[in-house]
Amino acid sequence: MSENTTTKKIISALCGCLLLSLAGCSLNERSARPSWEEGVLRVGVTPNYPCLIHKAPETGLISGFEAECAALLAKRLHSRLQFVELEWEEQIPALERKEVDIIMSAMSITEMRKLQVAFSAPYLTISQMALTTKGGEEQFPSAQAILTTNKAIGVEKGTTGDVFVQRYCLTAEPFFFSSPDAAVQALRDKRIDLFIDDGPVLAAYAAEYGAEGLVLLQTPLTSEELAWAVHRDDPALLKAVNSALDTWKKEGTLQSLLKKWLPK
């Protein structure tokens, strides 16, 4: 074999390796693209929050303010909407593992969470409040009465209500529940004296069970902002979400949806 032929074969082999390498890089780039850029917006939800994000036990359908916003966002991104149901404690870990693109599930902005996720602009300001039974207004006439009580207080585990009670209600007996429904049932059964959670969710339960004597105490305990969370390595989605929020605020869409879903 001539030296010229050998040289040509070596060059050909090197070109082939280069092409395979470039093809591999292209495949890796495509596989690394977020799901929403590939046409599927995966939305992490814990659908146990009346009015904001809730799953009907009879039909299995997910509805609420956040569900409608998720549908609007998916349409805006030209993506198919896919809800990914998760336990509350699994929301941020799933986002960090990139198993979901965004969390749209009544998540409050906290300093700790800001270290883990990138939050959108807030869409709602709420307060932690307390739900009790008839007669509770006399027992708990003020925030101070709640903070200093030694009664049984129910919270949903892992929420800002949980943090509030453990941090500030130091003499209370805390009871931890996996969902608001479970905590409300304990209140109806008089196994706890108070249930502390987000104001909108408690207002919905007070409206539903008011005839049974459940009462929402009109005492705000905190002030916090709800927002949507995306992966810290996905600035493009964060920009798209904030752009959508800005548009919906200007057009009145956001206000209309909040008015539709949240009880007064």
pLDDT per residue over 212-259, tens digit each?
999 999 999 999 999 999 999 999 999 999 999 999 999 999 999 999
113 and 244 housed in the same domain:
yes
The reply to whether 43 and 161 lie within a common domain is no
CB 196 within 8 A of CB 184: no
Q: Please tell me whether residues 213 and 191 are part of one structural domain.
A: yes
Q: How confident is the model at residue 14 (pLDDT cuts 50, 70, 90)?
A: very low
Q: For the segment 20-39, what is each residue's pLDDT rounded down to a tens digit?
A: 444 444 434 444 688 888 99
Indicate if 140 and 196 belong to the same structural domain.
Answer: yes
**Domain housing 104:** 35-125+225-261
Domain match, 150 and 188 both = yes
Please tell me the total count of domains within the chain. Answer: 2
57 and 187 inside one domain: no
Determine what percent of the chain is predicted with pLDDT higher than 70: 87
Residue at 24 is within a domain: no
Nearest 5°: the CA angle 200, 136, 204 is: 20
164 lies in the same domain as 245: no
Q: Is 137 within the bounds of a domain? A: yes
* Statement to judge: residues 112 and 163 lie in one domain: no
The tens digit of pLDDT for each residue in 107-158 reads 999 999 999 999 999 999 999 999 999 988 899 999 999 999 999 999 999 8
Segment 78-84 shows an average pLDDT of 97
Q: Going by C-beta distance under 8 Å and a sequence separation of 6 or more, which residues neighbour residue 14?
A: none
**Residue 15 forms part of a structural domain:** no
Q: What is the CATH number of the domain that holds 60?
A: 3.40.190.10
Quote the pLDDT of residue 35. Answer: 81
Same domain assignment for residues 119 and 138 = no
| pLDDT tens sequence across 167-206 | 999 999 999 999 999 999 999 999 999 999 999 889 999 9
**Co-location of 178 and 210 in the same domain:** yes
pTM of this prediction?
Answer: 0.77
